[in-house]
Amino acid sequence: ERAMPNPNCQRLFDRARELGVGFYLGYAELTEDGQRFNTAITVGPDGAILGKYRKVHLPGSVEPRPGNRYQQLEKRYFQYGDGGFQAFRGAQEWGAPIMGMLICNDRRWPEAWRCYALQGMELMVLGYNSAAYDPNGGDAENLEIRTFHSILSAQANAYFNATFAVAVAKAGVEDGAGLIGGSVIVDPNGMILAQAKTLEDEIIIAACDFEKCMQGKGPGKIFDFGFHRRPQHYGRIVEQAGVEPIA
Amino acid sequence: ERAMPNPNCQRLFDRARELGVGFYLGYAELTEDGQRFNTAITVGPDGAILGKYRKVHLPGSVEPRPGNRYQQLEKRYFQYGDGGFQAFRGAQEWGAPIMGMLICNDRRWPEAWRCYALQGMELMVLGYNSAAYDPNGGDAENLEIRTFHSILSAQANAYFNATFAVAVAKAGVEDGAGLIGGSVIVDPNGMILAQAKTLEDEIIIAACDFEKCMQGKGPGKIFDFGFHRRPQHYGRIVEQAGVEPIA
């Protein structure tokens, strides 16, 4: 997509605005200078784009892996997101929560959630298209463990960051390959408020009282970051990308 | 404790060595210059101290909180650990895994686990004395959610870092206050291999094949840190302790 909205998806924007419904939309972005990003936007109930995010954690590889039935080639077709993790305000109608966005594999990386939480995040929204097979483990479908990992990531990172989180799957079979479900809405305690139960289309709903985030990270609380974090000991997280093993 | 071992616990060291059993031991450390740390050591089956860790994430407050039935005063009685997160080698008899140690509240901080994982951690060991009441939420006992948070922290951080983890509770009632149980041994997929079921003394056992860590973080895998991490976007994690909220 060269612009958002554009004629191909204008009807989505129009219909959502008629209904007063906001949404998160993921798409393949093509910039004027020819860069391609895996991108998502959050759109308010008035149709305004409130936040935009380009995926930072691209899984897979640049080159196809010989002999693999399935290929995971995000590193081939997209550039790494160049904007980092910029929190933004949700719509007034939603209580104007401080929001973050991630895309798919990003949700497994606690660094990403923390960078948003350090801006006061109260609501994370993310979408995922996660294969039901293990992209690193061969052909075997393993819906159960892949769904477990997806929900575990949402619950734990919501808890660690005392934020609501909405993680939405594109479930079912696409081009003959299975995708996991497991969409969840999670509260700042990491508890599941609503969960999709099938691999079909579903709607899940939960009311989110953003005041509850302060029970986890308000002044003096267990996740009062400024009171308890010790960043002088976290240097490796930014000083090295990979493992520097001990002797 | 001014030294470890010392006459008060020498019998523990002697008996463990007779049996060829290693152990993790938490204690209050008093240094020669009068500093006090919440400290843990890992002892090999030959009685040698393999690793030592001083707790970084002290919960609670310096001053008692008026009107609270329970007080959490670790910040009053201990200095913050000054050694960071230094991985070490476990005993040859254990397969010489790269190990990390944490203490109690540390396990809720993904930064701590990641700093060890960036040194190749294959086995995390940690102990906790976690109150069954919410130290930030008043007097109400809430064994269920506190145990959920404890197990969630172990499972998620083991998964995110593709490491085995052993998290051990001091369970039951002490000085009239309840402590949670929920000791677990978790594999690099975040799956529970063994779990204590009561608030009484229990032994839980699991065989740990450290090769399995590479299924998560070996070359080209989903958590191949050097291939997938993007530390240029993680700056906030070390540049700010607390929240810098957006406008």
B206-223 pLDDT per residue, tens: 999 999 999 999 999 999
Chain A, 121 to 180: residues with Cβ < 8 Å from chain B are 135-137, 145, 148-149, 152-153, 155-157, 159-160
Cβ distance of B237 and A239 shorter than 8 Å: no
Strand partners, A53: A40
CB A189 within 8 A of CB A144: no
Single-letter amino acid code for the residue at B18: E
pLDDT of residue A141: 63
Interchain CB distance below 8 Å, A238 and B222: no
Task: Give the per-residue pLDDT at A137.
Answer: 56
In tens, the pLDDT along B82-118 reads 999 999 999 999 999 999 999 999 999 999 999 999 9
DSSP code, position B21: -
**CA distance linking residue B232 with residue B150, whole number of Å:** 31
Question: Which of B108, B54, B207, B36 lies closest to A157 in space, CA to CA?
Answer: B108
For A27, the token pair is: 């798409």
User: Cα distance from A20 to chain B (closest Cα, Å)?
Assistant: 25
Q: How would you write B45-108 as a 3-class SS string?
A: CCCCEEEEEECCCCCCCCCCCCCCCCCCCHHHHCCCCCCCCCCEECCHHHCCCEEEEEEHHHHH
Q: Which of B105, B110, B118 sits opposite A110 (nearest CB)?
A: B110
Give chain B positions within 8 Å (CB) of A138. none
pTM as predicted: 0.97
Residue A32, exposed/middle/buried by CB under 10 A (0-12, 13-18, 19+)?
exposed
Instruction: Tell me the one-letter amino acid at A20.
Output: G
Q: Which long-range contacts (CB under 8 A, 24 or more apart) does B216-223 make?
A: B216/B159, B216/B162, B216/B188, B216/B189, B217/A243, B217/B117, B217/B161, B217/B162, B217/B188, B220/A61, B220/A65, B220/A136, B221/A136, B221/B162, B222/A59, B222/A105, B222/A108, B222/A135, B222/A136, B223/A108, B223/B160, B223/B161, B223/B162
> Residue A232, Cβ neighbours under 10 Å: how many?
12
The backbone torsions φ and ψ at residue A211, rounded to the nearest 5 degrees and listed phi first, read -60, -25
* pLDDT recorded at residue B71: 87
Distance from C-alpha of A170 to C-alpha of A200, rounded to nearest angstrom: 9
Residue B167: what are its φ and ψ, rounded to 5°?
-120, 120
Residue stretches of chain B with pLDDT short of 70: 134-141
Interface of B with A in 12-41 (CB under 8 A): none
Q: Do B228 and A136 touch (CB under 8 A)?
A: no
**Coil, strand or helix: which one is A141?**
strand
Q: Which of B156, B224, B233 sits opposite A115 (nearest CB)?
A: B233
Q: What residues of chain A lie within 8 A of the CB of B108, using their CB?
A: 159-160, 222-223
For residue A136, the chain B residues in CB contact (below 8 A) are 215, 220-222
Cβ of A215 under 8 Å from any chain B Cβ? yes
Assign 3-state DSSP to chain A and report helix, strand, coil percentages, each to 5.
30, 25, 50
A5 cis-preceded (ω within 30 degrees of 0) = yes
Burial bucket for residue B183 (CB in 10 Å: 0-12, 13-18, 19+): buried
Give the H/E segment covering residue A126: strand A123-128
Look-up of token digits 């975040």: B190
Which of B110, B115, B152 comes nearest A155 by C-beta? B152
For residue A242, the chain B residue with the least C-alpha distance is B226
Q: Please list, in sequence order, all residues whose beta carbon lies within 8 angstroms of the beta carbon of residue B148, skipping any fewer than 6 positions away.
A: A190, A191
Question: Nearest CA of chain B to the CA of A223: how many Å?
Answer: 9
DSSP B164: E
Interface contact flag, B237 A114, Cβ < 8 Å: yes
Is the Cβ of B85 closer than 8 Å to some Cβ of chain A? yes
Q: Is A237 on the interface with B (CB under 8 A)?
A: yes
A233 and B120 within 8 Å at the Cβ level: the answer is no
pLDDT in tens, chain A (247 residues): 999 999 999 999 999 999 999 999 999 999 999 999 999 999 999 999 999 999 999 999 999 999 887 889 999 999 999 999 999 999 999 999 999 999 999 999 999 999 999 999 999 999 999 998 765 555 556 889 999 999 999 999 999 999 999 999 999 998 888 899 999 999 999 999 999 999 999 999 999 999 999 999 999 999 999 999 999 999 999 999 999 989 8
What is the model's pLDDT at position A70?
82
CB contact (8 A) between residue A222 and residue B136: yes
Residues contacting residue A203 through CB under 8 Å, at least 6 positions apart: none
A109/B160 Cβ within 8 A? yes
Q: What is the dihedral of CA A169, A173, A175, A177, to 10 degrees?
A: 90
CA distance B188 to B173: 32
**Residue A175: predicted pLDDT:** 86
Q: What is the ipTM of this complex?
A: 0.97
SS3 A194: strand
Which residues 45-84 of B have a C-beta within 8 angstroms of A? 56-59, 61, 65, 80-81, 84
pLDDT at B140: 59
3-class secondary-structure state, position A51: strand
- Nearest Cα to A229, choosing from B65, B134, B109? B109
Asked if B152's CB is within 8 angstroms of A190's CB, the reply is: yes
Residue A243 sits at the chain B interface (C-beta within 8 Å): yes
A246/B98 touch (CB, cutoff 8 Å), yes or no: yes
Across A182-214, b (16+ Cβ under 10 Å) vs e yields bbbbbbbbbeebebbeebeeeeeeeebebeebe
Q: Provide the shortest C-alpha distance from residue A9 to chain B (in Å).
A: 30
